Chain A
Amino acid sequence: MSERETPVTQDELHAYVDGELAPDRVTAVEAWLAAHPEDAALVRGWQAQAEAIRARYGPLASQPVPARLELDRLARGTRSWRAIAAAAVFGAFVAGGVAGWMAHGASAAAPSRFDVFTQQALEAHKIYVVEVRHPVEVAGDERTHLVQWLSKRLDHQLRVPDLDASGLKLVGGRLLPGPFGPAAFCMYEGASGERFTIYYARTDAPPTALRYREGERFAGFYWVEQGLAYVVSGPGDRDRLRAIAQAAYDQIDKK
């Protein structure tokens, strides 16, 4: 018979398991398996692996899609970032935005902490980085006072990193209303006027690694460490932003 002349290869065994085998080889492979119990055991093992994978992960496809992945919302978001950033209605936005976002959060299917904090931080970033005269409440040359004040208001010892090595000077900081209480907000400025901000808010979420959120013009890196959520926001240059977030993360994490 022909299977004697053309022995079955390992590739064919895989193709058999995956339904990729050419139809005219199926009979030959099945005859081969009947005659070679070791290969038959191998194939059964691979089939069992595949079944275990499908049993473990298959049901995930029937989970409801979270709000942050709704397409209409994402499509709207990619446009509105630009519209909001361009609009000169920041005053109204500060007052209305926070309450509006909270109401929105309550009605939509519970957005994650990541969603809430990065949204808040990016909005604050957009609002304040364009401020020429009053970007902060306490200037960076009063660093000690700034840290004491914000730490007291958040009831949590804050660390305001020194980003000189990344070419950024501390402009200062301010207190903001956050989604679950006060939030702190520090701003840094680079040599060509580019601004980066760090947003701090209390949270009971478990620690996370750095995670990225992209807006139209700005982006942020988020992480949680010891009861505080941090968002480092800046222009959409992801590599630079990541390097700065990393520098901040390392300093904050160090002590």
Chain B
Amino acid sequence: MKGKALGSFRNEIAAALPALRRYARALTRNAELADDLVQDTLLRALRSEHLFHGGDMRSWLYTILTNLNRNRLRALARRPPLQAIEEHDAPEHPQSGGRDIERALAALVEEQRATLLLVVLEGLSYRETAEVQGIPIGTVMSRLARARTQIKAYLDGGRPALRRIK
């Protein structure tokens, strides 16, 4: 029955939605931008139901979001004047002690941050992360290593908060 299949497709998306928002929020560090990205991802997913042949819904949604975000970053790279105001975001829990890790993550290259977050925050396996990002597992490993080294240097050295894009 088609209606039932549709319902379960949507239910699967709905089940993955909270984690998808969390990932987008950590990746972009901007609540509204993150929800824009999630909204675009959901619209794309709803329209592409015929392309979803079972498999892991979460990985599929992360893959769509990753591609949309890549397009967004490319567009941003072509439009330098827009970046300055998109970078900042008021932290939701300024007193929670998460500021250092937030800044350290912000200093990473987007791809490395994405890899680290998919593994550490979202609990994806190396293989799933490789598929979501469209890269070999070896690249997952090298991104993880660089991300962790850089975060450590950041936290140890107390370097001034460098903005990645300026």
Listed in ascending order, the chain A residues whose CB lies under 8 Å from chain B are 10-11, 14-15, 18, 20, 42, 45-46, 49-50, 52-58, 60-63, 65-66, 68-69, 71-72, 74-75, 78, 112, 114, 207-214, 239, 242, 246, 249-250, 253
Contact = CB atoms under 8 A, between A and B. Distances in A.
A210 B75 CA distance: 11
Contacts of B17: 65, 69, 71
Contacts of A212: 36, 40
A112 B121 contact: no
Contacts of A58: 22, 121
B38 interface: yes
A73 to B, nearest CB: 10
A72 B145 CA distance: 41
30 contacts: A11-B145, A14-B148, A20-B125, A46-B148, A46-B152, A49-B148, A53-B121, A56-B93, A56-B96, A56-B102, A60-B22, A61-B18, A61-B19, A65-B21, A69-B35, A71-B10, A71-B14, A71-B17, A71-B42, A71-B46, A72-B10, A74-B43, A78-B47, A209-B33, A209-B82, A209-B83, A211-B36, A214-B40, A246-B82, A249-B81
Given A14-B145, A18-B120, A75-B46, 15 more contacts: A42-B152, A46-B148, A49-B120, A52-B98, A52-B101, A53-B101, A54-B121, A56-B96, A60-B25, A61-B22, A63-B18, A63-B21, A69-B38, A78-B43, A211-B32
A232 to B, nearest CB: 13
Interface string B20-32: 0110011000001
Nearest to A242: B75
Given A14-B148, A71-B14, A56 B32 contact: no
A28 to B, nearest CB: 18
Main secondary structure of the interface of A (DSSP, over half): helix
A53 B36 contact: no
Contact of B119 (A18, A57, A249): A18
B141 interface: yes
Contacts, number: 124
A210 B21 contact: no
A65 B121 contact: no
A239 B76 CA distance: 11
Contact of B98 (A55, A71, A242, A249): A55
B96 A57 contact: no
A49 B152 contact: yes
B43 to A, nearest CB: 6
Interface centre among A14, A66, A207 (most CB of B within 10 A): A14
Contacts of A11: 141, 145
Contacts of B79: 242, 246
B39 A69 contact: yes
Nearest first, the 8 A-B pairs at minimum CB distance are: A56-B98, A209-B86, A52-B101, A60-B22, A61-B18, A61-B22, A57-B26, A50-B120
Nearest to A47: B120
